[in-house]
């Protein structure tokens, strides 16, 4: 079957769904192709912390209503050294900015519901997606849906299909530069229907390794511990994981921690990755398709959202008959912000995790830096402004400051 649309969006994660929602509201036609089932996409447990800019963009996309009602505003965050915690006053140190705890599952469900309500072309179970003629004036996408082969002609392709997707893989190797760091550990995460141990998140540097106490709601908790990449979730029965969390988060948090059966338990590897540029002809990459940050600092979903904000603006300008200037500037504009978040996530990972080759000196450097942050308002302000999300002027290295 042959079809035509203005923008073919590959992937129905947060990036693809938010982009098509923003384009739809501007009267632009698009088709979203997703390899997995709706149930799979809606159940994938991942991010939990939204920057103010992400919340604002979701509002602008018309999907902010439940987020405003159920999201938990967080005005502070805690760091801990061997269980001894101190607070960073995000609100006070950033002129009133904060973050919102609202699960990626909820963001995805809200966006899918908005697509369904208006009968949008959102196809789950799209197989064998392939991109063609990206550097011509007439690109197309072929795929198989419910056994039927399709060809979709379009003006532009948005590659929002994550790190393992087909979009970045369709760019010739010589047209991309890749920058990468792999970390020799992963995060073992547990989700449980128990009240959180604290009203705010706790990022803990412990001599046994990193731990994070997070949440999804007043009755649902999310915790992580750093584990070697060789570990498997089966080696971590619930009690062993709760015991380890109690040690790494310290006696104060442990005393307030409620244990309960895991609803989900999985291990995620940590990686820093950027592919430049984020454009190849009429293909534009956004979100995890173009870059990955280690989860320390909660930047991944927020970067996907800021990419999509830039890309939607540029596509809307062009497809409303305007100039291509926004599309030409997209990659550089998005990458400026990406590199700022890459730096923060890499730095925060280095500050809080135990590395296999770490000796006593390296560990004391971490502890000294954490104690400096504890003592210095200037240092806490630096962490705070990165954690809530840098203003765009910073991301452009000051060049946008006007």
Residues near ligand DHB, by CB under 6 A:
47-49, 201, 212, 214, 222, 295-298
Cβ atoms of 333 and 396 closer than 8 Å: yes
Identity of the residue, 5 or 386, whose beta carbon is nearer to ligand DHB in the bound complex = 386
Quote the least distance from Cβ 191 to ligand DHB, whole Å: 9
The 3-state DSSP class for residue 90 equals helix
Q: Residue 117, class by beta-carbon neighbours within 10 Å (0-12 exposed, 13-18 middle, 19+ buried)?
A: exposed
3-state helix, strand, coil in the chain (%, to 5): 40, 30, 30
Binding site partner of 34, from ligand DHB, ligand FAD, none, Cβ cut-off 5-8 A by kind: ligand FAD
Q: How far apart are CA 274 and CA 180, in angstroms?
A: 7
Binding site partner of 268, from ligand DHB, ligand FAD, none, Cβ cut-off 5-8 A by kind: ligand FAD
Binding site partner of 297, from ligand DHB, ligand FAD, none, Cβ cut-off 5-8 A by kind: ligand DHB
Identity of the residue, 134 or 384, whose beta carbon is nearer to ligand DHB in the bound complex = 384
Quote the least distance from Cβ 318 to ligand DHB, whole Å: 34
Q: Which of 196, 299, 330, 353 is catalytic?
A: 299
Strand order in the sheet with 121-123: 121-123, 30-33, 7-10, 156-159, 283-285, 279-280
Quote the least distance from Cβ 53 to ligand FAD, whole Å: 11
Binding site partner of 115, from ligand DHB, ligand FAD, none, Cβ cut-off 5-8 A by kind: none
Q: Which of 143, 295, 330, 353 is catalytic?
A: 295
Q: How far apart are CA 158 and CA 284, in angstroms?
A: 5
Binding site partner of 302, from ligand DHB, ligand FAD, none, Cβ cut-off 5-8 A by kind: ligand FAD
H or E element that contains 92 = helix 90-93
Give catalytic status of residue 203 as yes or no.
Answer: yes
Give catalytic status of residue 75 as yes or no.
Answer: no
Q: Which of 74, 115, 265, 291 is catalytic?
A: 74
Give catalytic status of residue 277 as yes or no.
Answer: no
Identity of the residue, 122 or 390, whose beta carbon is nearer to ligand DHB in the bound complex = 390
Residue 274: both structure tokens together: 């950027």
Count CB-CB contacts under 10 A for residue 107: 26
Where does this chain bind ligand FAD (CB under 6 A)?
10-16, 33-36, 41, 46-49, 104, 126, 129, 160-162, 164-166, 187, 189, 268, 287-288, 295, 298-302, 304
Q: How far apart are CA 205 and CA 210, in angstroms?
A: 5
Identity of the residue, 207 or 394, whose beta carbon is nearer to ligand FAD in the bound complex = 394
Q: How far apart are CA 201 and CA 192, in angstroms?
A: 16
Q: Which of 102, 143, 183, 203 is catalytic?
A: 203
Q: How far apart are CA 102 and CA 214, in angstroms?
A: 11
Distances (CA, A) of 92 to 44, 67, 326, 380, 381: 34, 23, 35, 11, 9
Identity of the residue, 204 or 331, whose beta carbon is nearer to ligand DHB in the bound complex = 204
Residues with a catalytic annotation lie at 74, 203, 295, 299, 387
């Amino acid at each position: 079957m042959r079809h035509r649309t203005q923008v073919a969006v590959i992937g129905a994660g947060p990036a693809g769904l938010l982009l098509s929602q923003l384009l739809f509201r501007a009267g632009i036609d698009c088709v979203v192709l997703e390899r997995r089932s709706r149930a799979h996409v809606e159940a994938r447990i991942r991010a939990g912390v939204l920057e103010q800019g992400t919340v604002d963009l979701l509002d602008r996309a018309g999907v902010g209503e439940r987020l405003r009602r159920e999201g938990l505003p967080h005005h502070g965050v805690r760091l801990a050294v061997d269980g001894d915690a101190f607070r960073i006053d995000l609100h006070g140190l950033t002129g009133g900015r904060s973050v919102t705890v609202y699960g990626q599952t909820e963001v995805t469900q809200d966006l899918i519901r908005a697509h369904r309500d208006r009968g949008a072309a959102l196809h789950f179970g799209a197989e064998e997606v392939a991109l063609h003629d990206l550097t011509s004036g007439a690109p197309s996408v072929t795929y198989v849906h419910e056994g039927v082969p399709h060809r979709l002609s379009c003006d532009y392709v948005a590659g929002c299909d994550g790190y393992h997707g087909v979009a970045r893989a369709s760019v010739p190797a010589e047209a991309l530069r890749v920058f990468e760091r792999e970390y020799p550990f992963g995060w073992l995460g547990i989700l449980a229907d128990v009240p959180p141990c604290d009203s705010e998140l706790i990022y803990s540097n412990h001599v046994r390794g990193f731990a994070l106490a997070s949440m999804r709601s007043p009755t649902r908790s999310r915790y992580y511990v750093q584990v070697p990449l060789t570990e498997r979730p089966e080696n971590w029965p619930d009690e062993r994981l709760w015991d380890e969390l109690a040690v790494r988060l310290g006696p104060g948090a442990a005393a307030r921690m409620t244990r309960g059966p895991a609803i989900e338990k999985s291990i995620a590897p940590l990686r820093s990755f950027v592919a430049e540029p984020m454009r190849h002809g009429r293909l534009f990459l956004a979100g995890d398709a173009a870059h990955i940050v280690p989860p320390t600092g909660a930047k991944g979903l927020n970067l996907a959202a800021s990419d999509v904000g830039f890309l939607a603006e540029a596509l809307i300008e062009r497809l409303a008959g305007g100039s291509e200037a926004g599309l030409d500037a997209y990659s550089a504009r998005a990458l400026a912000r990406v590199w700022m978040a890459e730096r923060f996530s890499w730095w925060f990972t280095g500050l809080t995790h135990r590395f296999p080759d770490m000796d006593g000196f390296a560990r004391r450097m971490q502890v000294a830096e954490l104690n400096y942050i504890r003592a210095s308002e200037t240092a806490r302000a630096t962490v705070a402004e990165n954690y809530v999300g840098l203003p765009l002027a910073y991301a452009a290295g000051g060049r946008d400051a006007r």
